[in-house]
Chains A and B, each alone.
Chain A
């Protein structure tokens, strides 16, 4: 099952150009949905206006080289390792889901465009990666949906209570779940059920990509922009109007705020994790 290209098998009943056209149309839907989402929410406009506002409160100018370094660190840290998540379980689940989706989507495109029929034998590694991607996505996605999702974890809702915010995660999970079921049934030679699983796989993936405008799919485009802007505001000293990160042993700080040496001494101890000692799970 893991080494078989399910799309090559499918080419016997569905024309190759139809499969390829479907992929192209879905990519166009993602681009169109993201652009419409940006126009509707005015997110790009917000970022540019916010950046201009932050520049006015800047303590120093950030050079072009420094900006490039910050962009690179945003890519290697926030984008590639999802470091923005404070909750390490969410970070891990997000990494599984993200890399699973990338593997799954990339391998789907490779199999459909490069090896669409049994006449062009697919290297075993491609379908293996496709299946591994789908499994990774299912692991991270179901972990998130059933246990980590804030609606379940903090709001105390049941896992099956769905809102519009779930459109993205549910359609994503259904896409990969039915893809795996379809691949298995095709391998097992269960003709009727395999067609049903394939139809549900296509339905879920169509909802996922056509629903970009209505779901939070577009977060993958504006989240890195927000992370980059946050780094810039730290570098230029504007800190989004947040207070300074004072060094309590600094004598200037102690002169400016005499309560610190009076109540805490001139070299205050590390007070420990405080509110972070215990993860919030009191619902």
Chain B
């Protein structure tokens, strides 16, 4: 679902140019508005869609679920910590609304202070474990947590 820009909404601020990891969002040489120079190379990370302060960037949904005339729009709200999607079908009537959390703690409050950590010893360097791995996967808390150890079972099929 490559991105495209609504030229009338874009003010040429360059935030999408700055954030695009594929470096395919650039500024048009005639109107100084952003555009996707190579949609085939877009890997649909949506960074530009979310970064655009004017919601001027949209995505083209795949034809199988959203044929011509559809709309897939997203609004990322940092302060609320949520991302909202609205998918509108091409008949213009049916819509699907989605809302999901993107963080549960205020931004920037949980960045590990790596400089304060002690340097890894020889044993840690030669270990197969990654940094903080036993703690982060809770191995040091009664072993690896599994469905069984948590009293859960895997249900068959698709369920919500």
A residues in contact (CB < 8 Å) with B: 43, 46-47, 56-57, 84-87, 90, 150-151, 153-155, 163-165, 216, 222, 226, 230, 240-246, 248, 253, 256-257, 259-260, 263-264, 268-277, 280-283
B9 CB-CB contact with A under 8 Å? yes
B residues in contact (CB < 8 Å) with A: 8-9, 11-15, 17-19, 26-32, 50-51, 53-55, 71, 73-75, 77-82, 84-86, 88, 92, 97-101, 103-108
The answer to whether B88 and A241 have CB atoms under 8 Å apart is: yes
The answer to whether B81 and A268 have CB atoms under 8 Å apart is: yes
The one of A150, A248, A281 in contact with B12, judged by C-beta atoms closer than 8 angstroms, is A150
Contacts of B9 in A (CB 8 A): 226, 230
The one of B74, B81, B92, B103 in contact with A243, judged by C-beta atoms closer than 8 angstroms, is B74
The one of A151, A164, A242, A275 in contact with B55, judged by C-beta atoms closer than 8 angstroms, is A242
The one of A243, A272, A280 in contact with B106, judged by C-beta atoms closer than 8 angstroms, is A272
14 cross-chain CB contacts under 8 A: A84-B11, A150-B12, A154-B17, A154-B27, A163-B30, A164-B30, A165-B31, A243-B99, A244-B86, A264-B82, A268-B81, A271-B105, A272-B78, A272-B106
Contacts of A281 in B (CB 8 A): 18
Ranked nearest first, the 6 interchain pairs of A and B with the lowest CB-CB distance are A274-B78, A154-B14, A243-B84, A271-B81, A150-B14, A280-B18
B74's closest neighbor in chain A, by CB? A243
The answer to whether A271 and B14 have CB atoms under 8 Å apart is: no
**Looking at B32, B104, B107, which has the most chain A CB atoms within 10 Å of its CB?**
B32
The answer to whether B97 and A263 have CB atoms under 8 Å apart is: no
The answer to whether A270 and B27 have CB atoms under 8 Å apart is: no
Nearest CB on A from B47, distance (A): 9
The answer to whether B106 and A154 have CB atoms under 8 Å apart is: no
Measured in the bound complex, the distance between the Cα atoms of B55 and A241 in whole Å is 11
The answer to whether B97 and A244 have CB atoms under 8 Å apart is: yes
Measured in the bound complex, the distance between the Cα atoms of B71 and A272 in whole Å is 29
The answer to whether B107 and A273 have CB atoms under 8 Å apart is: yes
The answer to whether B73 and A240 have CB atoms under 8 Å apart is: yes
Measured in the bound complex, the distance between the Cα atoms of B51 and A241 in whole Å is 18
The answer to whether A246 and B84 have CB atoms under 8 Å apart is: yes
**Looking at B53, B101, B107, which has the most chain A CB atoms within 10 Å of its CB?**
B101
Contacts of A282 in B (CB 8 A): 18
The answer to whether A155 and B27 have CB atoms under 8 Å apart is: yes
Known A165-B30, A226-B9, A260-B101; judge A272-B107 contact (CB<8 A): yes
Not counting A86-B53, A259-B99, a sample of 13 additional A-B residue pairs whose C-beta atoms are within 8 angstroms of each other reads A57-B92, A86-B54, A151-B32, A165-B28, A165-B32, A244-B84, A257-B98, A263-B104, A264-B101, A273-B78, A273-B79, A280-B15, A280-B19
Contacts of B80 in A (CB 8 A): 246, 248, 268, 270-271
Contacts of A226 in B (CB 8 A): 8-9
Known A155-B26, A222-B8, A273-B78; judge A264-B92 contact (CB<8 A): no
The one of A47, A150, A275 in contact with B13, judged by C-beta atoms closer than 8 angstroms, is A150
Measured in the bound complex, the distance between the Cα atoms of B104 and A73 in whole Å is 37
Measured in the bound complex, the distance between the Cα atoms of B95 and A56 in whole Å is 14
The one of A57, A242, A283 in contact with B75, judged by C-beta atoms closer than 8 angstroms, is A242
B95's closest neighbor in chain A, by CB? A241
The one of B55, B77, B82 in contact with A240, judged by C-beta atoms closer than 8 angstroms, is B55
Contacts of B27 in A (CB 8 A): 150-151, 154-155, 165
The answer to whether A271 and B75 have CB atoms under 8 Å apart is: no
B51's closest neighbor in chain A, by CB? A275
The answer to whether A243 and B85 have CB atoms under 8 Å apart is: yes
